[in-house]
Structure 1
Amino acid sequence: MSDTIKMQLVDAALPHVAFDGWSDETFEAAVVDADVNPTVAKAVCPRGAVDLAVAFHERGDVQMRAALEAADLSDMRFRDRVAFAVKTRLELCDDKEVVRRGTTLFALPQHAATGTKLIWGTADAIWTALGDTSDDINWYSKRATLSAVYGSTVLYWLGDESEAHADTWAFLDRRIDNVMQFEKAKAAFNKSPFAKIMAGPLVALGRVKAPEKTPPMPGRWND
């Protein structure tokens, strides 16, 4: 029930975001437009419009995963699959101003950690959808690298006025090429004599494991 109400509030908020941003004014207008009891709305979204902005972003991740599952990526190189996923995620946003306002919101110091978590979540959603099975330090490095690529591409996309965002996709390809070069260099290092010198630290890093999935907890308001 809580997710349903939150999505109703998100949809009601979107027409107001371009004018008032993800603000208290937008949240109050969404509550009225969605005809949701204000007390229930605050229970579902304790931070008001900030929680709506988070829900809007996370809904985009869900839609992206569905689109990737429906797409045939079998003939693509892996780097092209990553580029396709990022492109798909951005093309799901049909109103740049809504995204721009969210970027501004999560650039504020008090919301920066939330913004970083959202970008990490998008990177994790992409890697998971593409079948990543890593459970060691690579789980973290892949998501950290893709977070940087995704974040910089969003900023470029927001200012891109080229036809069909051609400049953005070229920018994205260059960033992914940089990542691939880094991965090749890392592989070459692992085969070099220097890897033996760093054997101790590398063994320690090898003990780092991906986080385990948290099982459902009792006492939560579920649909």
Structure 2
Amino acid sequence: MIKLTNINKYYRQGDQRFHVLHDINLTVDQGEFVAIIGESGSGKSTLINIIGFLDDDFTGTYFYEGQPIHNYTRKQFSRLRNQNVGFVFQNFKLIREATVAENVALPLLYAGHQRREISDRVTAVLDQVGLHGYEDQLPQNMSGGQQQRVSIARAIIGHPHFLIADEPTGALDTETSQEIMDLFKRLNQDEGTMIIMVTHDPHVAAQCERVVKIIDGRVVSDSQGAQDADK
């Protein structure tokens, strides 16, 4: 589904050019649950920005569902992103003054869906993430774990082809982090959702099927995680 070959990424700062990603080769198939792990500054967030069609300024080849997209325009990347990817972030990125239902409905509103259909889909997806009856709550009155569930509901309501989760447990305590990981594993195993997760936490990474480790912009290992080993 995703195939990156010899991906390189450079940043410019003044007259200096920084080489951030070095010849990244990575293939991820439909239904996989992959952790990308590395220390701060390792390049892992830069890599998922490319994978998630947020960054089109790189060299190398990117094939998505068999199509070469590395020469796409920014507008084409934007369309790919809107139609294929759901994003979950460490700091939730919820609109605090909007209700849970309004937050979750945003992707469908942007896509032009009818309000009746949106209401039904919001109810169904909140049930799926364990937030039945929370439609009228405000995020600011909810726990961190509940807010992350709202953000996951928002990410999956449009039935994306894959999810990108950037440090989704980074702001949560250990028990709540495990609850969120259990939810991701259910989505992956029951729904077949492909998930690519960035984390610096080895315990979180070990629960994924694969663990890809990045150091200084290079993939240094690609190994089997505990979830795959338990199958």
> What TM-score does the superposition give when structure 1 sets the normalisation length?
0.29
Looking at CA atoms only, which structure, 1 or 2, has the larger radius of gyration? 1
Higher helix share: 1
> What TM-score does the superposition give when structure 2 sets the normalisation length?
0.29
Higher strand share: 2
